[in-house]
Structure 1
Amino acid sequence: MQEFKELLSQNPYNVNLDIELLRTFLTIAESSSFSTAGAKLNKTQPAISQQMQRLEHQLGLSLFDKNGRTKRLSIHGQKLLQHAYQLLAIHDETIRSVYNSSITGHLRIGAPFDVSDTILPMLLSHIVKAAPNIDIEIKIEHSAMLMDALHRGEIDMIISTREDDKLEGGILKTSPIVWFCSEHYRYDRRMPLPLILADGPGLFAKFALKALEEHRIPWRQAFLSSNLIAIKSAIHAGLGVTARGIEALSPDMRILSEKDGLPPLPQISYYLWIRPRAVNPFVRQAYNILRNSFEIDEIRNG
């Protein structure tokens, strides 16, 4: 503690930077324009200019040089830029730590099978890093069933491929749907396509069958299971081809494309949903952590 106090006293210039001004300065540097920075920050250009005048006054230094009608960073501005990212990162991490270290509670999260070992772990790591004292319960199920569970209040937050105008959330990630098979499997275009399908209400099978029908490509059901592990086992065994999100692809599989005679497939969006009026206040805190970490573009409903 004594060493920390000594460090605090070592400020010979008696300058204390305003974090909000520093954040605006970084936005200007990244945008190369006061007007563009103003649009990003929802501020007028005069307001942006006033903030930079205040920052220059705090430092007693000029941060910008005029270059015709535009302004560019001065030598002092370039020097500040070198440290600004680190200063803001430390500031934001400190705020998160102070506010989130005391967050405790029980959070029930649901995710579909195909992202249980890809997107879900990333989501969990962000929650645990920001709020290490929470208790998490995981439910892996089909998206349609997860949506029903969320509406019934049996779960607090879900990753889903389904849209719902009664829930609050937004797009977590958008990924291509692809055809893939075992690395050693060879598709014979003279024969009906052997499909490995998931049993139950799934969007992947819907998109796959629609694409095959539109392109008049014959197919047969080679394997059917509601278990993703079983589906992957069938792929590894070379029983046929499946259509899934690219997250399910592993190094021992390969993608089939139009060159192989298969039609293109659309992209799929994974949403993060909560109920708009969730009773548990911790759900809102956890959702805000993820919204900021993944920069979710919210779709507010309810």
Structure 2
Amino acid sequence: MQAENIGVELFRTFLAVSELRSHKRAAAHLHLSPPAVSGHLRRLQDQLGVKLFDTSVPGVRLSTEGAIVVETAKDIVNSHDRLIEQIQQSRSATPDRTTIRIGVPHELRCWLLVPLLAEVQKSHPELEFQLRRGSSTSLLNELKHGDLDICPAVTATPPPTTVRTYQEDVVWVSRPDEEHTLGNPVLIVAHPDGSIVRNLMLSSLEDANIRYRVTFQAAHIDGAIAAVRRGLGCMALLRSNAASDLFQRNDLPPIPHAYWGIHLRQTLPVIERLADDILTILP
């Protein structure tokens, strides 16, 4: 007798036939064909090694062994159905994790985003966040190709009206004790290649035929400001990033405005909310 690995559906079919007293009614109840019902019963009897129904009398009547099996079959089917229900409820209570991929340009401090993301996650505990640092140009390219979901970015021209935008001044800064001294070439602290503010800064010097040399390059705004404080050079910064202890210079060429934009890959409500929240930390 082979009694291992008996399928729950075989017991379910057996219970339906025993309760409804009809193969045909059981088939309709289970959305099976009558031959499928007969096949289930045959397989169950073969695996248990007993006759479940008394075929010596008309109609559908349990055999002695069948009456024993029916009670255990009820326990098996009920336990199975309760387990499935519990799993489904658990999945409903704990939704699948969803990752929001956020581009962070060199001109934005990552730590400013942390309180916003913590607040969003309170109402959306299923969310996870991935921050990617890079130049605005590279991040916007990632967004275009579907590798990011949202990206605050700095551009040299106003972004499309379909994104949230803000215009900001770009200013020259140096440490206070260098307010009257400019070398030749001018020593420059800069963001890495691809940074819009870097491009605007260097273009303004080149257009004015001013010689310069980049002495320090930092991907993070705090590292760049630290380099300026230590006298490694002067730098162009968004006004909101210009620390109060730095001297804002007026003896270098003016730099055009830069434009913040909050760019979205898709307009899901949670991403729309996040875009509005990010806008509050921009100047």
TM-score, with structure 2 as normaliser: 0.54
Q: Report the alpha carbon displacement of residue 177 of structure 1 after superposing the two structures with TM.
A: 0.9
User: Aligned partners of 1:252, 1:166: CA distance in 2, in Å?
Assistant: 32
Partner of 2:273: 289
Q: Deviations over 1:125-151 (max 9, x none)?
A: 664466465322222222122122222
2:190 is matched with 197
* 1:154 and 2:147 are equivalent in the alignment: yes
Aligned residue number for residue 182 of structure 1: 175
The secondary structure found in structure 2 opposite 1:115 is coil
Amino acid at match of 2:164: I
Secondary structure in structure 1 of the residue aligned to 2:227: helix
Contact 2:159/2:259 (8 A) holds in 1: no
Q: Relative to 1, partners in 2 of residues 1:178 and 1:121: Cα closer, same or farther, differing over 3 Å?
A: farther
* Residue 212 of structure 1, CA deviation: 1.9
Letter of the structure 2 residue corresponding to residue 140 of structure 1: R
Q: Name which of 214, 219, 234 aligns with 1:221.
A: 214
Q: Secondary structure at the match of 1:286?
A: helix
Q: Residue 113 of structure 1: CA displacement?
A: 2.3
1:268 pairs with one of 239, 258, 266: 258
Provide the C-alpha distance between the structure 2 equivalents of 1:229 and 1:160, rounded to a whole number of angstroms. 18
Partner of 2:246: 253
Q: Larger deviation: 199-208 or 161-170?
A: 161-170
Higher strand proportion (structure 1 or 2): 1
Unaligned 5+ segments in structure 1 are 1-101, 297-302
What's the C-alpha RMSD, in Å, of the aligned pairs? 3.6
Task: Kindly provide the CA deviation profile for residues 25-78 of structure 1, in whole angstroms up to 9, marking residues without a partner as x.
Answer: xxxxxxxxxxxxxxxxxxxxxxxxxxxxxxxxxxxxxxxxxxxxxxxxxxxxxx
For 1:195, the aligned partner's letter is I
Q: Is the CA contact (8 Å cut-off) linking 1:197 and 1:205 kept in structure 2?
A: yes
Residues 1:134 and 2:99 are matched in the alignment: no
SS at match of 1:250: coil
Aligned: 1:113 with 2:106: yes
Taking a change above 3 Å as real, the CA distance of residues 254 and 121 of structure 1, as seen in their structure-2 partners, is farther
* AA of the residue aligned to 2:269: Q
CA 1:124/1:254 → structure 2, altered by over 3 Å: closer, same or farther? farther
CA deviation after TM superposition for structure 1 residue 218, in Å = 3.0
Residues 181 and 235 in structure 1, CA contact (< 8 A), matched pair in contact too: yes
Tell me how far apart the structure 2 counterparts of residues 189 and 164 of structure 1 sit (CA, whole Å): 30
Q: Which amino acid aligns with 2:106?
A: F
Distance in 1 between residues matched to 2:219 and 2:102, nearest whole Å: 20
| Residue 199 of structure 1: how far off its partner (Å) | 2.5
Q: List runs of 5+ in structure 2 lacking aligned partners.
A: 1-94
CA distances 1:236-267 after superposition (whole Å, capped 9, x unpaired): 2111101121232223322112xxx1122121
Q: Give the Cα separation in 1 of the matches to 2:157 and 2:258.
A: 15
Larger radius of gyration, structure 1 or 2?
2
1:117 Cα shift? 4.2
Give a deviation string over 1:62-111, Cα, whole Å, max 9, x none: xxxxxxxxxxxxxxxxxxxxxxxxxxxxxxxxxxxxxxxx9973311111
Q: Structure 2: how far apart are the matches of 1:168 and 1:146?
A: 19
Summarize the Cα distance change of 1:190–1:162 in structure 2 as closer, same or farther, 3 Å threshold.
closer
Helix, strand or coil at the partner of 1:150: helix
Question: Cα offset for 1:210?
Answer: 2.0
What TM-score results when the alignment is normalised by the length of structure 1? 0.51
**Counterpart for residue 71 of structure 1:** none
CA contact (8 A) 2:157 2:258 kept: no
